[in-house]
Chains A and B, each alone.
Chain A
């Protein structure tokens, strides 16, 4: 009995601990800086984010992001400042609401095209129905009857 109570209490403590750890919390300034720096492209690198680059330009961009966060700017305002200077290119993931955002439709278009191709191939493999038509059956029966009559 005691062992059962201990297990229940332990389970409750664990559940509460998990709930506390997983509760939504406001991102700290450092987390926001990291997140924004992850989304920005380093202009002097090959496919690296500002967070991952060690270049001087990336360092200056991180400093600017940190300053804007301290000034109370939102993530969108900070990103739009960089977009104003470099265009949407500066974002590693193009925004959906832009011409470059059309790239997000590419996987869907490829999937749709693939499905169409596969369905057409399957339909072709099955081929036309092998069941003879009623007129063909009638013609065959008539031929058999004729040949039987000829053989006497």
Chain B
């Protein structure tokens, strides 16, 4: 009798837990999926610029707020978010905020042509073998990572991003950056 009561309570608790878990899971914003990289040091990279003018290493940008955007010319949402990225780049181009575009599964020629066509003024680099995308846990472009001046990934946005989200994330990190 006692056992039956315990089992009944356990079943009710399990169903309650399942309901709460599902409710919380469905409330999550799919653009802000937290995987393994949030709150951890950003994986180091040293990649060649698409225009061939040298390399960019993440370690060279220590002390700055770094916005890393994975993009591709074949990705329609990338073109959709690009105007917001351009506006934010213009707003912060003389500040302690650095934007880096990393091409995703695409030839350098196509990426460079896209960057020029879309008015991308920030540094764009080539991730030819996809290793950097894998180390950041990228699912597919566009994805944007916000790296604080301490080199830790503070935020991640999956899918097209808007200007307000970009500015908000950057301003959250700027107070700690080197002015």
Contacts and interface: CB of A to CB of B under 8 A. Distances in A.
Contacts of B135: 85
A60 B130 contact: yes
Given A44-B140, A109-B14, A60 B4 contact: no
Given A60-B130, A61-B134, A87 B36 contact: yes
Interface in A41-76: 43-44, 56-57, 60-61, 63-64
B7 interface: yes
A71 B73 CA distance: 34
Residue with the highest number of chain A CB atoms closer than 10 Å, among B7, B34, B133, B134: B134
- B interface, size bucket: 20 to 34
B7 to A, nearest CB: 5
Contacts of B35: 85-87, 89
Interface string B105-132: 1000000000000000000000001110
Question: Chain A contact residues: over half helix, strand or loop, or mixed?
Answer: helix
B137 A87 contact: yes
B151 to A, nearest CB: 15
Given A85-B35, A113-B7, A56 B105 contact: yes
A64 B130 CA distance: 9
B57 interface: no
A56 B128 CA distance: 12
A116 B4 contact: yes
Contacts, number: 50
Interface residues of A, number: 20
A86 to B, nearest CB: 4
B44 to A, nearest CB: 13
Interface of B is mostly: loop
B31 interface: no
B140 A85 contact: no
Interface in B12-63: 14, 34-37, 40, 43
Nearest to B3: A116
A127 B43 CA distance: 67
Interface of A: 43-44, 56-57, 60-61, 63-64, 82-87, 89, 109, 112-113, 116, 120
Given A63-B129, A112-B7, 20 more contacts: A43-B137, A43-B140, A44-B140, A57-B105, A57-B140, A60-B129, A60-B130, A60-B134, A64-B134, A83-B36, A84-B40, A85-B36, A85-B37, A85-B43, A85-B136, A86-B36, A87-B34, A87-B36, A87-B137, A89-B35
